[in-house]
Amino acid sequence: DGGITQSPKYLFRKEGQNVTLSCEQNLNHDAMYWYRQDPGQGLRLIYYSQIVNDFQKGDIAEGYSVSREKKESFPLTVTSAQKNPTAFYLCASSMGPAGLVGGYLSSYNEQFFGPGTRLTVL
């Protein structure tokens, strides 16, 4: 089956600890994304990567870090610098970069989401 997997499904962390959330995709997608979801709010972009070995900050990158050493993997580390880390974290991927191709919006912009990881800080 092709898809996006995230692990673990539930994660508990003590204050002051760093934790790493896993995201793997076997869709052969170039672009990958991390979002944070809080109750009653839309998804907010943390980091995104358009290609291997490259990534950019999203709207709420402070307190988070990522790496993109392999095309299929985009792990997110929640550091102790993140003041309010309790949330539902969603990973997504799309076939191509999030942008225009030849002046036209390509179909590559369809984003597919993983099942999410719920992080709770104790």
- Footprint on this chain of other proteins (rule: CB under 8 A): 4, 6, 40-45, 48, 56, 58-59, 90, 92, 98-100, 105, 109-116, 118
DSSP codes, the chain = ---EEEE-SEEEE-TT--EEEEEEE-S--SEEEEEEE-TTS--EEEEEEEETTEEEE-TT-TTEEE--SBTTB--EEE-TT-S---EEEEEEEESS-SSEETTEE-GGG--EE---EEEEE-
- Residue with smaller CB distance to other proteins, 4 or 78: 4
- Residue with smaller CB distance to other proteins, 80 or 97: 97
- In the complex, the smallest distance separating the C-beta of residue 3 from other proteins, rounded to whole angstroms, is 10
- Residue with smaller CB distance to other proteins, 85 or 114: 114
- In the complex, the smallest distance separating the C-beta of residue 16 from other proteins, rounded to whole angstroms, is 28
